[in-house]
């Protein structure tokens, strides 16, 4: 298994975005997608690896964007092992298909949750 902490190089956060959730049910929070780029060596072999991790945190109305970004980054780092182990031994097509299925399920859940305002 690829252990991201075994990299001798640095992990840098390349990309960050977030979307808010939970205004109607009283729980405020954000989903965040954090992309990491690893350049380093594993067993003396040069390796470059890109990983995107989507996480969710709860927030308060007073929390700054910087604080949310920091919290999302910390949560993504904690989830890195899970993200890498889910991809182990799978082809790119399998991973792409799984991602499409998850996005479709999330979209359906969102559509089912939203009230009909017509």
Q: What does the pLDDT read at residue 8? A: 44
Which range has highest mean pLDDT (12-26, 56-70, 78-92)? 56-70
- Quick check: is 98 in a domain? no
Tens-place pLDDT, residues 72-102: 888 888 887 777 776 677 776 777 788 788 8
- Quick check: is 103 in a domain? no
- Quick check: is 12 in a domain? yes
How many of the other CB atoms lie within 10 Å of CB of 44? 6
pTM check: above 0.75: no
Token digits for 73?
């980054």
Q: What does the pLDDT read at residue 7? A: 47
- Quick check: is 99 in a domain? no
d(CA 16, CA 32): 7
Containing domain of residue 60, as a range? 4-89
* Total domains, the chain: 1
Task: Determine contact, residues 107/99, Cβ cutoff 8 Å.
Answer: no
- Quick check: is 73 in a domain? yes
Q: What does the pLDDT read at residue 20? A: 61
- Quick check: is 96 in a domain? no
Distances in Å between the Cα of 70 and the Cα atoms of 17, 27, 90 are 12, 19, 31
- Quick check: is 97 in a domain? no
pLDDT at 44 over 80: no
């Amino acid at each position: 298994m690829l252990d991201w902490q075994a990299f001798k190089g640095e992990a840098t956060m390349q990309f960050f975005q977030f979307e808010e959730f939970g205004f109607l049910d009283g729980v405020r929070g954000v989903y965040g997608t954090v992309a990491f780029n690893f350049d380093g060596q594993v067993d003396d072999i040069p390796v470059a690896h890109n990983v995107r991790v989507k996480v969710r945190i709860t927030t308060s109305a007073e929390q700054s964007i910087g604080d949310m970004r920091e919290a999302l980054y910390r949560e993504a780092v904690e989830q890195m092992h899970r993200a890498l182990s889910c991809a182990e031994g799978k082809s790119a097509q399998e991973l792409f298909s799984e991602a499409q299925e998850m996005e479709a399920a999330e979209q359906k859940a969102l559509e089912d949750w939203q009230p009909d305002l017509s």
